[in-house]
Chain A
């Protein structure tokens, strides 16, 4: 994957997250990854590694500390991707 905008990232995240969560909640930009989707931290870290490979980026773990919602994760990815 090369050129990629925020919407595509959002779409990919929502697709992947819906397969990981057991919660029935519809996933939107404001959905909280941990508290609403009850995805444990290990699954989340594996998901992050998968995403890193799809976008050919490394997400520093310091940056993840500020990520709570799907929107925040998508913006982080798009920020790192465009800095490349």
Chain B
């Protein structure tokens, strides 16, 4: 098979799952009306497939900050911070993240994907070990591969399996980086952080926590799982993204280890890419302020999460183990998932379809992301539609 034939073979597999005309992946969105509504084709749809957890995409404060930065600093930085310089906004945002997490050091990356790539490959290398959850996001897997460290996985959120693997590492645990996520993006469940911290201390490892989906969502001020569990001081490195609750693009790493700063000189995903544009940085800074003071938004978000989770659970859907802004219905096979996804779209509700191998353990998922801007009526309507489709497709 030549290179192009290999791509043809992959396309054939994809087509066998998705009938012609169903563009479930990369669906064209023609117009966006608000944090909860958009137009797909000629349908005005309710958005339940975004990671806009606090509903801030159209916040006037963020939009105005971005406008001002565009007017005063232009559209782009046109280069990397190492070679072309750091704007005051980049430095200020790093300081703001460090303050937010009560840490001494913060680094901003161009995306959350690169934050994981850059942090992991900067911290570990050949001869070191990474111990990761089997449900880890692709950016964590890719960061580990880039690093050259030995990659060992433990069963998702299974502390017995994790400890077994730590024990098997013997004295190599001191050069082992454990990586877990605050909220897992597929099933919306949280890491058992207290037990993980206990094991990290018992075996003398280093711990990295990715708060991508939990930033803005968990904790009184929105720090994430570290705040909900009161374990901030126990975590060595925290990464996260601006692309979800902060509604822009970018990523960060913060730490109380001043050595984090060295990553600026060794980490390719930090060095060899252009820095975030001024408008991106400005809207992120405004969003971070709203996020810190957003306890009312978090209350509304959790009310919505619980309402939808409870409704789908009562109807009989198989869901992830706990409610959260990511609510995934687990279907028996890709066809069923596609039917449900398509049925929802026909009722003007847009959610995410996730088929193997993207979802863990060969699962097929129809995943909803709930946000603080959804009204009770919208959430009730989504629940009722899921209920109707359950009767239609899933009752044998």
Contact = CB atoms under 8 A, between A and B. Distances in A.
Contacts of A60: 129, 150-152
A11 interface: no
Given A49-B155, A60-B150, A60-B152, A42 B165 contact: no
B6 interface: no
A22 to B, nearest CB: 16
A33 to B, nearest CB: 16
Contact of A62 (B151, B357, B361): B151
A29 to B, nearest CB: 26
Nearest to B170: A84
A78 B259 CA distance: 39
A56 interface: yes
Contacts of A56: 164, 168
B145 A62 contact: yes
A41 B357 contact: yes
Interface in A47-84: 49, 53, 56-58, 60-63, 84
Contacts of B155: 49
Interface residues of B, number: 15
A73 to B, nearest CB: 17
Interface in B36-70: none
A40 B362 contact: yes
A53 to B, nearest CB: 8
Contact of B361 (A42, A57, A58, A84): A42
Interface string B125-150: 00001000000000000000100001
B145 A42 contact: no
A57 B152 contact: no
Given A41-B357, A42-B356, A58 B152 contact: yes
A58 B155 CA distance: 12
Contact of A61 (B152, B356, B361, B362): B152
Contacts of B356: 42
A65 B168 CA distance: 21
B384 interface: no
A9 to B, nearest CB: 17
B228 interface: no
Contacts of B362: 40, 42
B168 A61 contact: no
Interface of A: 40-42, 49, 53, 56-58, 60-63, 84
CB-based closest 8 A-B pairs: A42-B362, A60-B150, A58-B152, A61-B151, A58-B165, A58-B168, A62-B151, A60-B151
Interface of B: 129, 145, 150-153, 155, 164-165, 168-169, 356-357, 361-362
27 contacts: A40-B362, A41-B357, A42-B356, A42-B357, A42-B361, A42-B362, A49-B155, A53-B164, A56-B164, A56-B168, A57-B168, A58-B152, A58-B165, A58-B168, A58-B169, A60-B129, A60-B150, A60-B151, A60-B152, A61-B151, A61-B152, A61-B153, A62-B145, A62-B150, A62-B151, A63-B150, A84-B168
